[in-house]
Chain A
Amino acid sequence: MSDLVALAERIVAKAKAGEEIEAYVARGHDIEVRAYDGEVESLSSATTGGIGVRVLVANGSEGARLGFAWAGSLDDEVVESAVDEARDNATFATPDPDVAFATPDGVPATELDLWDQSVADTATDEKVAIALELERRVRAADPRIRQVSSADYGDERVEVALASTTGIRSFTQRTAAFLSVSAIAGEGSDSHTGTGFSVARGFAGLDLDRAGVDAVERSTRMLGATKVPSDRLTVVFDRRVVSTLLSIISSALSGEAVVKGRSFFAGRMGEKVATGSFTLVDDPTDPRAFAAAAHDAEGLACRRTVLIDSGTLAGFFYDTVSARRAGTSSTGSAVRGGYSGTPGAGCRALVLQPGRHDQQAILAVVGEGLYVQSVTGVHSGVNPVSGDFSVGVEGLMVRDGGLAEPVREVTVASSLQRMLQSVLHVGVDIEWLPGIAAGQTLAIGDMQLSGS
């Protein structure tokens, strides 16, 4: 730990007069095992480290200029040249009064224990064994499982130190372990795929059964799937899909998108944008969330932000720069894609206020419609600026309040604006998934299914 903080402080100490410096220093250890056909297909292990340096050069009344440089190394000479490069890059930026580093804002950081030592302490042999066992179980679970194209175990330990001339000092460390399996079920010439996974802070928290059962169920229940005629109907989204949906909706709730005119929520604060049962919160201080964090990527305390409250647009999330542009303060929502990226506004732990029903009860209430197990083409068919929504789906028809025949090669479409106004049921069945949003069953009315 201390060596990363010390390195960050050494970088910050290089600031010259009229300059601010921020240093982000990260190190990770990871291991990954892939099992295939009863053997280890690959075993990878590595330690990586790198720095990201931002330099702000004051430019009188016009504001400051920002430059950035990064390097995939923690060596002193590399660090030195990164600082010089960031400083040089700053001379080319447009001076901007809103560009600034975070300054401590008095909000205390939540104490979170995101480190599970079992990731480091478990022997490689045990990690190999769990991947092999996952593969074996899925192959043995059902005679219709024709292939297990991969069964993976992976884990990582990540440490991040942040320091700045504006008074920021933070250090965070977290671990994660995962199991993931991809199965192919077949009957005759018909094949379908299903994935299962489990994520946890440590080795002990992984649920081998769950990962295997999910992959088997999701692949086998699609056997015999057909394309169905186009229809307008109610769609019940699986928890995993809802996690993806919430992530997309959140990009329109970004203060940066709003202030730059790239969000359909711009200018609608306080308006009814969703049905009353829809309350969306980002709470990275909840330790159950996969991306929970005590500090954001600028070193401020993470905090709970209510975005949509009983259907009313209640807030946007901000990093320091977007908050200054909007005339407000950061919500501690800076995120980065690692040492090679600069901070931007992002969510970490989106969750809907739970309703009363689980998936089964929601299917019963909905009666007739389509249950969507997985979606494709999210990046090509969902536009968070216009709100246009069109995705490929696989799933099962809902008939008489239960799951019926499987469906493939169809799309469902609407717009994000309309979908939020058409929420029929929010599930009570919260599941913390990898990524930035929890999963919960969600039923949305009046969607267009396009098929034959």
Chain B
Amino acid sequence: MREWSLKVTLRHLGRPGCSDAVDTMTPVTAPPLIDSDVLERVLTASLAKGGEMAEVFAEDRQISSAILDDRRIEELSSGRERGAGIRVVIGETTGFAHTADLTESGLLAAAEAAAAVARRGGGRTETVGLPARQSAPEHDFVLPSEVEKSAKLELLSRADDAARSAGAAITQVQVGYGDSRRRVLIASSEGMHSEDDQIRTRFNVSCVATGDTGMQTGFESIARTEGFEVFGRFAVEEIARIAATRALGKLDARPAPSGELPVVLAGGSGGILFHEACGHGLEADHIVKDASVYVGQVGEQVASALVTLVDDGTVGGEWGNYAVDDEGKAAARNVLIENGVLTDYLWDWLRARKEGRPSSGNGRRQSYQHLPMVRMTNTFLLAGKENPDELVAQTPKGVYVAKLGGGQVNTATGDFVFGTSEAYLIEDGKITSPLRDANLIGNGPEVLRRIDAVADDFAMMPGTCGKDGQSVPVGCGQATLRIGGITIGGTAA
């Protein structure tokens, strides 16, 4: 619920849109969010009218964030949200209701609302019994709640100082810090009974640089599924310096070209290319509805033989990680494209059930107030063998993209865009003039076939992925690579 309905706005605007970031485990002794006997009674009640599957998803989320803007610590915010979503499935129909009331009576009321769809299903009296709870894995992260607020705020001031000292033309700096702890518990009539404890930490810097040609912006972030200890490995001054340098560099930028040119994407520049060019199109909810260009393509060559694409929610500390998905299924490493051949799609429980196969552990939801759907975790292209510098040297004319912003795709047509936030011309095999920001546009299967070189310098980047009104953290990764030709949406003729 919002002050006015963003849901409506997002819904009609439609397609998955993903952007730069920024915006996991518990001691075994922590009590579960809901006791087993209560869960069994709620699940039994959920099925009393004839549903085929019932599930309780409980969540307790604590969030804190801080913003430094215009040299002031403007806002320190703390929030807490807890509740449960109950889903009852009968045939092809899902009933769903959620409540912030985790007492047995609150849960039973939600169960009754969710089960309303099953009223024509006929009665059913069996009792649901749950197996022993699969506890969240133990971890040694520094919990956000164990860190003094002053220690979090000190990071903001350090980053502000570093950004402003990067150049006199830096005229404004905004620094954001955020952490969250999300405990979830999933129990279903199909014997699922697991929990997870997800700790996330993010830090981002946005700079404005002002020069004769107007203003330019630079952004950089880190976002990890880890605790406060990440700041022992990532220096906030370095994040600030990168953001500031990015804004300063564009003050001399010339308009991006228009028309088709070869494009070299730097390692770790985004990987959002694959997230948009094929990641969304491989989500089984689009596949089962015949709303993707990749329908019926398993076993087919859908990309250059240099492309091996993986979705993996278990990569140490990455932003898209979790131990179990929001349906209780363990995260896994799923190979989607191997040497250019499509090997599989991404699955959640509902779509996998339809095809009589197991979920791939990709059922995710923004919160207990949402139904799960198929989502990516960390999606990345495996590194190749070439030297990244030589790859540029072998490109007579083109565009070098050092950093990407967000992107968007229409899965049914395969057409997608992604934006640059730091790019340069390549002339005679050398990186030359900086370019103003622009979107690039292409068609997924076509662009994947035009990848003609992949280097050996792999890196990941965090992002926030939006789909059907729900946002979840994801990772994207790739080595330096070249696309033989793609349309660049600049203003230069």
Contacts and interface: CB of A to CB of B under 8 A. Distances in A.
Interface of A: 26-28, 30, 36-37, 39-50, 66-73, 78, 82, 85-86, 88-90, 92-94, 96, 124, 146-147, 149, 152, 154, 156, 158, 160, 174, 176, 178, 180, 182, 184, 191-193, 195, 197, 199, 227, 230, 232, 240, 244, 260-262, 264, 290-291, 293, 297, 335-338, 340, 342, 348, 376-377, 379-381, 383, 385-388, 390-392, 394, 408-415, 434-435, 448-452
Contacts of B215: 261-262, 264, 385-386
B491 A414 contact: yes
A424 to B, nearest CB: 18
Interface string B250-275: 10000010111000000000000000
B243 to A, nearest CB: 13
Given A28-B1, A93-B73, A377-B439, A409 B94 contact: no
Nearest to A297: B3
A386 B216 contact: yes
A295 to B, nearest CB: 11
B76 A92 contact: yes
Given A182-B14, A230-B493, A48 B100 contact: yes
Q: Among B11, B404, B443, which residue has the most Cβ atoms of chain A within 10 A?
A: B11
Contact of B4 (A82, A124, A291, A392): A291
B367 to A, nearest CB: 9
B436 interface: yes
B76 A156 contact: no
A390 B208 contact: no
Q: Among B12, B17, B83, B418, which residue has the most Cβ atoms of chain A within 10 A?
A: B12
B94 A42 contact: yes
Nearest to B289: A149
A147 to B, nearest CB: 5
Contact of B116 (A28, A43, A152): A43
A26 B82 CA distance: 16
Contacts of A30: 1
Contacts of B488: 411, 450
B210 interface: yes
B91 interface: yes
A448 B491 contact: yes
Contacts of A88: 149
Contacts of A199: 8
A367 B73 CA distance: 54
Given A192-B413, A377-B407, A386-B436, A158 B8 contact: no
B442 to A, nearest CB: 7
B489 A390 contact: yes
A49 B99 CA distance: 10
Contact of A154 (B7, B172, B441, B493): B7
12 contacts: A39-B92, A45-B96, A78-B80, A379-B406, A391-B417, A394-B415, A409-B415, A411-B258, A411-B417, A413-B491, A450-B259, A450-B489
B83 A72 contact: yes
Contacts of B437: 381, 383, 386, 388, 390
Nearest to A124: B116
A377 B419 contact: yes
Nearest to A260: B70
A94 B442 contact: no
A93 B259 CA distance: 49
B394 interface: no
B176 to A, nearest CB: 13
Nearest to A159: B1
Given A46-B98, A388-B438, A260 B1 contact: no
B117 A409 contact: no
Interface of B: 1-9, 11-15, 17, 19, 66, 69-83, 91-100, 113, 116-117, 149-150, 153, 171-172, 208, 210, 214-217, 250, 256, 258-260, 286, 289-291, 293, 369, 371, 404-410, 412-413, 415-419, 436-439, 441-443, 487-493
Contacts of B80: 70-72, 78, 82
Contact of A335 (B3, B94, B113, B290): B3
Given A69-B79, A72-B80, A197-B12, A149 B95 contact: no
Nearest to A174: B4
B69 A260 contact: yes
Given A66-B74, A158-B3, A291-B4, 20 more contacts: A41-B93, A46-B97, A46-B369, A48-B1, A70-B79, A73-B100, A146-B290, A149-B286, A158-B1, A180-B11, A193-B410, A195-B12, A376-B409, A379-B17, A381-B417, A390-B437, A408-B413, A409-B487, A413-B256, A434-B12
Contacts of B441: 377, 392, 409-411, 450
Q: Among A30, A36, A68, which residue has the most Cβ atoms of chain B within 10 A?
A: A68
B417 A69 contact: no
Contacts of B416: 376, 392
A373 B87 CA distance: 37
Contacts of A383: 217, 437
Q: Among B69, B100, B493, which residue has the most Cβ atoms of chain A within 10 A?
A: B100
Contacts of A67: 76
Contacts of B404: 380
Contacts of A41: 92-94
Nearest to A452: B260
A404 to B, nearest CB: 20
A99 to B, nearest CB: 8
A40 B117 contact: yes
A93 B490 CA distance: 42
Contacts of B73: 92-94
Please provide the 6 A-B residue pairs with the shortest distance between their CB atoms, ordered closest to farther: A411-B489, A380-B419, A28-B1, A450-B258, A377-B417, A381-B439
A422 to B, nearest CB: 12
B483 to A, nearest CB: 14
A337 B3 contact: yes
B198 to A, nearest CB: 17
Contact of A94 (B72, B79, B93, B290): B72
B101 to A, nearest CB: 9
A9 to B, nearest CB: 20
A244 B13 CA distance: 9
Given A42-B93, A197-B12, A376-B417, A390 B5 contact: no
Nearest to A74: B100
A82 B171 CA distance: 35
Nearest to A412: B489
Q: Among B97, B150, B489, which residue has the most Cβ atoms of chain A within 10 A?
A: B489
A241 to B, nearest CB: 10
Contact of B487 (A47, A68, A337, A450): A450
Given A36-B289, A89-B77, A413-B490, A338 B9 contact: no
A380 B408 contact: yes
Contact of B1 (A227, A261, A338): A338
A383 B206 CA distance: 13
Given A156-B5, A377-B418, A390-B419, A72 B70 contact: no
Contacts of A291: 4
B374 to A, nearest CB: 14
A178 B289 contact: no
Nearest to A376: B408
Nearest to A70: B79
B1 A386 contact: no
Contacts of A96: 72, 74
Contacts of A68: 75-78
Contact of A411 (B14, B171, B487, B492): B487
A261 B78 CA distance: 28
A264 B216 CA distance: 10
A41 B373 CA distance: 13
Q: Among A66, A124, A244, A385, which residue has the most Cβ atoms of chain B within 10 A?
A: A385
Contacts of A86: 78
